[in-house]
Amino acid sequence: MFQPPSGPEPQGPRLQPELVIVTGLSGSGKGTVLKCLEDLGYYSVDNLPVDLIEKFAELTKSSPSIRCAALGVDIREGGNLLRLPEIIARLRLEVPTTLIFLEASDATILRRFSETRRPHPLGRDESVSEKLAKERDALTPIRDMADHILDTSPFTVHELRDIVAEKFRGAREESKLLIRVHSFGFRHGVPTDSDLVFDVRFLPNPNYIPEFKPLTGKHEGVAQYIRSFPQTQEFLERVMQMLLFLLPHYIREGKSYLTISFGCTGGQHRSVMMAAEVCKRLAKAGYAVKEQHRDAPRG
């Protein structure tokens, strides 16, 4: 993984610039990633014709003002995109080149197209879902040679920018991993983007206490009730020990984000309290965390 420059141009022989190529599915966030790289100091160009990519790389090598560059290429290139894998193979022999492939679930991309009301780049003669299927198939050879594949489905624009910034800015080790801690109810289904899932239905259920039933695990009275049981304290300690063991290994592996989910029956009490407590402890340990409660408050 390369890092963008900071400060004045170093003295001595000039090193070859790093080149980042951003590609992927339409609606997956390529524009957001390119803008973020530009903010980090990359000379960025979107929708560069495939025939000009090698010329662009040659120019960046000879330009004293460009120390790192990023370009976006996507399905708008049509049939010319089929030549991209061989072009990237040649580029990697001349310039340090990183290929980032962005994708998202069909449901996420369809929602994004619906929100923006923009047509799919492949045209209007078929539905977006049909065009998306064709696009996935066409981009498979490019995806297969990517250095980094990022599923942007679970992220907002701001979260995606944070992930790119931390990955390419060279921040301290703990902040390179964005941790999302979720609570959920099993009766509503397990979150599909979960990396680690913990079932806390073994804990006593505050739902059966009338005064706690309309509240959530964020309420101090409910939280104190759940914490009052020895199995709660032991579970918390064991989970934190495991997470603090795993997280440095995930970071060294290059993992950009991790979603930890705690589930109870309805997602109102036990899972909420547990997610909030783990979030607080991870933040105290120096990690970047975001807390989210999918099924609470009730309704």
Asked whether 114 and 37 are in contact (CB, 8 A), the reply is: no
Residue 232: per-residue pLDDT? 97
Q: How much is the pLDDT for 125?
A: 67
> pLDDT at position 15, please?
36
Greater model confidence, 186 or 94: 186
- The larger pLDDT score, comparing residue 106 to residue 224, is at 224
Which residues touch 173 (CB under 8 Å, ≥6 apart)? 248, 251
The answer on pLDDT for 170 being more than 70 is no
Peptide bond into 297 cis (omega under 30): yes
Q: Residue 18: how many CB atoms within 10 A of its CB?
A: 21
pLDDT recorded at residue 211: 95
SS3 of the chain: helix, strand, coil, percent, to 5: 45, 15, 35
pTM: 0.55
Distance of CA 89 to the CA centre of its chain: 26
CA pseudo-torsion sign 102, 108, 109, 113: negative
User: What is the Cα–Cα distance from 277 to 236, expressed in whole angstroms?
Assistant: 8
The winner for highest mean pLDDT among 47-51, 203-207, 247-251 is 203-207
E strands along 25-147, which residues? 43-45, 68-72, 97-103
| Distance separating alpha carbons of residues 290 and 259, to the nearest angstrom | 9
Q: pLDDT at position 175, please? A: 42
pLDDT at 299 over 50: no
Region 219-240: mean pLDDT is 96
Q: Which CATH class is domain 18-170?
A: alpha beta
Return the structure tokens found at 181.
């801690």
Helix extents (H) in 95-184: 106-116, 128-144, 157-169
Among 68-72, 73-77, 207-211, 251-255, name the most confident range. Answer: 207-211
In 3D, which of 154, 102, 101 has the Cα closest to residue 260? 154
% of the chain surpassing 90 pLDDT: 45
Residue 58's SS3 state is helix
Q: What is the pLDDT of residues 115-161, one digit of tens each?
A: 877 777 776 667 778 888 888 888 999 999 998 999 999 888 888 88
Q: Where in the chain is the domain with CATH 3.40.50.300?
A: 18-170
Token representation of residue 18: 């790093």
Share above pLDDT 70 across residues of the chain, in percent, rounded to a whole number: 89
* Greater model confidence, 299 or 286: 286
Residue 200 has pLDDT above 80, yes or no: yes
pLDDT in tens, 6-26: 333 333 333 344 889 999 998
- Other beta carbons within 10 Å of 52: 12
Residue 157: per-residue pLDDT: 86
Judge whether residue 63 has pLDDT over 60.
yes
